[in-house]
Structure 1
Amino acid sequence: MADVSERAPSAQEMRTRAAAFVSGATRRGRLPLDYSVASLRVVDFLVEGLRRGGVEETRVGEVLLDLGAYVGEVLVRRAGATWIDFDADQRVYFGQPAGVRMPDGRVWNPLGTVRNCFAEGSSRESLRTFYLKLHGRTRGRRSAA
């Protein structure tokens, strides 16, 4: 996994990064990115398209970062998570500067999860399945699946 800690935004910037990505993607491609759980299928499709195109991860790092910010924002809006800056040990462990904390205190790494999907393929690593298996979600939040 590439170390993106120097160029990746902080937790405070993630929501803005996700919103900018959605604005551009929906304006140009009319992609249904509405922060729903169902929209994670679209992200799976986008990641798989990049992967099948044979592009090296270093060339699509910023796009993967945007997609990771979007996935994290879905967790914030649908599962009750909050963006956090990782401490030094977490940065080493996750290879990312920011992630999300679930209501039960568990910490997840949506940026790394998107990179894993790119590396492994959506047949092995689905972002929608990641959400559905996610521990620590708040109960009672409506999530369009």
Structure 2
Amino acid sequence: MTTFQETRPSAAAKPVRWAADAVAVMREGARLRLDYSAQSLWRVDRVIDEMRRDEVPYAAVEKALRGFGAYAGEVIVRQAGGEWWASGGEHWLRTPDGRLWDPVDEARRCFLGDGSLRLLCREAMAAAAKSTQ
């Protein structure tokens, strides 16, 4: 059980920076433009899939995965009205329907072959849309 929670802006500071770093690295290194749209998560999932297929060691991509997860979280924040929450050094999102999401962990799961940032975003956006109807 979490006893202390922070809301935006303090809880968002680190994930927003991680996401911006991922956008910059993808633009400069891979020549991919990430625009914080739900569609851009297709590209992120493909990049993670390529890293897995190339058998890159987890330790070598850990920070990149954190950045990709934070990027997906920022897509959800911007598209579905979610907000970052933090406790004990962990960061997650809460969408307007009250559900909690962990996009950073989802990026790790993608790397292990058992996740999708695109699908996480789609599910979070659908849940948020239902709560406003």
Residue identity in the other structure for 1:112: D
From 91, 102, 105, the counterpart of 1:109: 102
For residues 58 and 29 of structure 2, the distance between their equivalents in structure 1, rounded to whole angstroms, comes to: 23
Task: Give the fraction of aligned pairs with identical amino acids, expressed as a percent.
Answer: 36
Is the CA contact 1:35–1:73 (under 8 Å) kept in the aligned structure 2?
yes
* Aligned-residue offset at 1:26: 1.4
- Residue 82 of structure 1 corresponds to 83
Amino acid at match of 1:137: A
The aligned residue for residue 119 of structure 2 is 129
Please, what is the CA RMSD of the aligned residues?
A: 1.9
After superposition, what is the alpha-carbon deviation per residue over 1:55-94, rounded to whole angstroms, capped at 9, x for unaligned?
A: 12122101111111111111111111111103x5xxxxxx
Provide runs of 4+ in structure 1 moved above 4 Å: none
CA contact (8 A) 1:44 1:128 kept: yes
Structure 1 unaligned blocks of 5 or more: 1-9, 89-95, 140-145
Structure 2 length as normaliser, TM-score? 0.79
Contact 1:105 1:136 in 2 (8 A): no
Q: Is contact 1:17–1:69 with CA below 8 Å preserved after alignment?
A: yes
8 A Cα contact 2:103 2:120, kept in partner: no
Pick aligned residue for 2:91 from 86, 95, 98: 98
What letter corresponds to residue 127 of structure 1 in structure 2?
A: L
